[in-house]
Amino acid sequence: MNDSPGWATPGSPSDGQGSDADRPAAPPAGDGKWSAAQPPPGQWSSPGTTPPPAPAPAPPAPPQPQPQPPAGWGSYGSPSQQPGAPYGYPGGPGGWGGPPAAAKPGVIPLRPLGLGEILDGAVSTLRGHWRSVLSVSLVVAALCQTGLLFVQRAVVDSSLLTTGRRPTDEELADQLGNTAFLYGAQYFLEALGLFLVTALLAPVVSRAVLGRPSSVSDTLKAVRPLAPRMAGLIAVLLLGALAAAFVPALPGILTGNVTAAALGVPVGLVLLAWFYVTFVLAPPALMLERGSIADALKRSAKLVRGSWWRIFGISLLTWILRTITAGIIVMPFAGIALFIAPGGFSGLLDGTAATSWTFLIITALGGIVGSAVTVPMQTGVTTLLYVDQRIRREALDLELARAADQGGAGPVTGG
């Protein structure tokens, strides 16, 4: 049999049978097979005998207090511990705990913002300062929609073709021009409202960032000294947008070359998008830094540089959300107008309802309500983008935190 260590033959010491005389003498120590110190015989009992009672288990030792990690080190189960984090990294075992949460005295945390935080901050400003916000946006929306109402009435009345004959090329050209004029007027009135509301509500948003209340009187007090510069800046922005949109198509329009004019349209749209995004932060820069028109334009271009696509994407997404929301708000007004306007639904199909003052006024009221509610969201996003860019580039969050602790009324100005 194999007498290797760990194996036992019948009658060996491991089965508890046989006398001491029968047991072989232990080989001398150091032969590499058996140890000089053998363990005691196993406590085996013969068949049919009662085994001896097992000794009572020893009472468990009292739990020893675990050493606490030094302050600042993450541990499993702590808020700073992230499951699966590598050892020695922030949030991992043996690593430093995560950074402390940013202060949030108002509608946004004082750190670089994400898309959701910007949108949430704009909506929170509208909800928490609705008196100041709606007072401003309602007046601006009413003025812009009134101007658009008269443009619609004049353009639609002159371009309506009610006869069953085939229109001439001259009539088609006139109708195309009137339609372009109508959409152009609608765009620039909308841009005027956006720039104006952004400038007027920038002080409200700045107070909301610091968690300060605002009123209509506070807003007017902050805007009144800057009203001439604000009007000049809006005029410059509108003229620049007009030039960016129409200059590429102008040669084709002047020469009567339809192809050249059509090719200039997409170029104009690209230039218009570039111009808008590059200088979209100029109104809040003017109102919060209180500099000149040129300074505001330079500050916007400087803050946008390197982040053009990010600002473009956030502004475009906000515009889409605002347009959908405004359309939902206007739909009930348009339905009421169809029932009240002369001719009803048939009048809408043949174009006669569009020339009715009843139809235009009711839809304009819907436009006023929709713009008053949705435009502040877009302007709030623009102002928060300005704050976010300054936090990213100039550590404005430190100055905002200090201003919040000191009870300041708005962001610290200066660049």
Query: Residue for token digits 């702590």?
Result: 78
| Residue type at 382 in one-letter notation | T
Which SS3 state, helix, strand or coil, does residue 67 take?
coil
- Greater confidence, 71 or 41? 41
Q: 249: closest CA among 278, 273, 235, 270?
A: 270
Is pLDDT of 179 > 60? yes
Average pLDDT value for the chain: 76
**Other CB atoms within 10 Å distance of the CB of residue 63:** 6
Going from N- to C-terminal start, the domains of the chain cover: 115-159+166-405
Paired residues of 363 in beta bridges:
none
Region 296-313: what's the mean pLDDT?
A: 96
- Torsion angle of C-alpha atoms 149, 151, 155, 157, degrees rounded to 10: 40
Query: Residue for token digits 């976010």?
Result: 388
Q: Report d(CA 134, CA 129) in Å as an integer.
A: 9
Is pLDDT of 284 > 70? yes
Chain centroid to CA 122: 10
Paired residues of 73 in beta bridges:
96
Identify whether the C-beta of residue 387 lies closer than 8 Å to the C-beta of residue 108: yes
Is pLDDT of 156 > 80? no
Identify whether the C-beta of residue 251 lies closer than 8 Å to the C-beta of residue 264: yes
Is pLDDT of 356 > 60? yes
pLDDT value at position 181? 77
pLDDT value at position 316? 95
Show the tokens assigned to 244: 């960016």
299: pLDDT confidence band, cut at 50, 70 and 90? very high
Q: What angle do CA 213, 214, 219 make, to 5 degrees?
A: 160
How many helices (H) and strands (E) the chain has is answered by 13, 0
Region 106-117: what's the mean pLDDT?
A: 93
Show the tokens assigned to 322: 């605002």
Is pLDDT of 28 > 60? no
- Greater confidence, 33 or 290? 290
Is pLDDT of 412 > 50? no
| Residue type at 136 in one-letter notation | V
Q: Report d(CA 376, CA 206) in Å as an integer.
A: 14
> 9-18, 109-118, 206-215, 343-352: which has the minimum mean pLDDT?
9-18
| Residue type at 222 in one-letter notation | A
pLDDT value at position 84? 46
Region 249-265: what's the mean pLDDT?
A: 80
Region 57-78: what's the mean pLDDT?
A: 50
Q: What angle in degrees, to the nearest 10, is found between the helix axes of 357-394 and 308-340? A: 160
Query: Residue for token digits 């009662």?
Result: 50
